[in-house]
A = this chain, B = another copy of it.
Amino acid sequence: MSFNQLKLTNQLCHRLYMASNSIVRAYRELLHALNITYPQYVVMMALWEQDKITIAELLEKTAIDGGAMTQILKKMVDKCLLEIVKDHQDKRKRLVQLTKQGQALKLKAVDIPNEIGCKFESINSEQADQLMRLLDLVISDLRV
């Protein structure tokens, strides 16, 4: 691998780091009205799609760290967005379930994707698609 490519890889990683921070910052602004953070929004998205799933399934869907998830869910319970109930089949497991408030928040969040989409002025549908495919390669390569 050439020197230039080595430098490219380093720069690529730095760009990914910058882009991710930018994304979270952009969402922060929009989510402020809903009083949730980006990781909390990701959790809500997962639950709006499929409610009453185990924490393990939620971890799988969101790719959020397990240790962080415990804290995040705790805060969301405090906000009355969801509740955590025991699984009587397997007492190790716990099920995450939206409250009425949590379900209702979906309506308030309906414009978020559009508002985020509007920020991507210079990226068209094909580029977004391509970017997504490339990111999947990165994620897949880095998965041990």
Contact of A10 among B13, B113, B122 (CB under 8 A): B113
Q: Is the CB of A21 within 8 A of B116?
A: no
Q: Is the CB of A122 within 8 A of B142?
A: no
> How far does the Cβ of A137 sit from chain B's closest Cβ, in whole Å?
5
Inter-chain CA distance A17–B7, complex, in Å, is 22
Interface size in chain A (residues, C-beta < 8 A)? 54
> How far does the Cβ of A143 sit from chain B's closest Cβ, in whole Å?
7
Contact of A20 among B8, B20, B122, B143 (CB under 8 A): B20
Q: Is the CB of A114 within 8 A of B12?
A: no
Residue numbers of A with Cβ under 8 A of B are: 1, 5-27, 38, 42, 45, 63, 113-114, 116-117, 119-123, 125, 127-132, 134-143
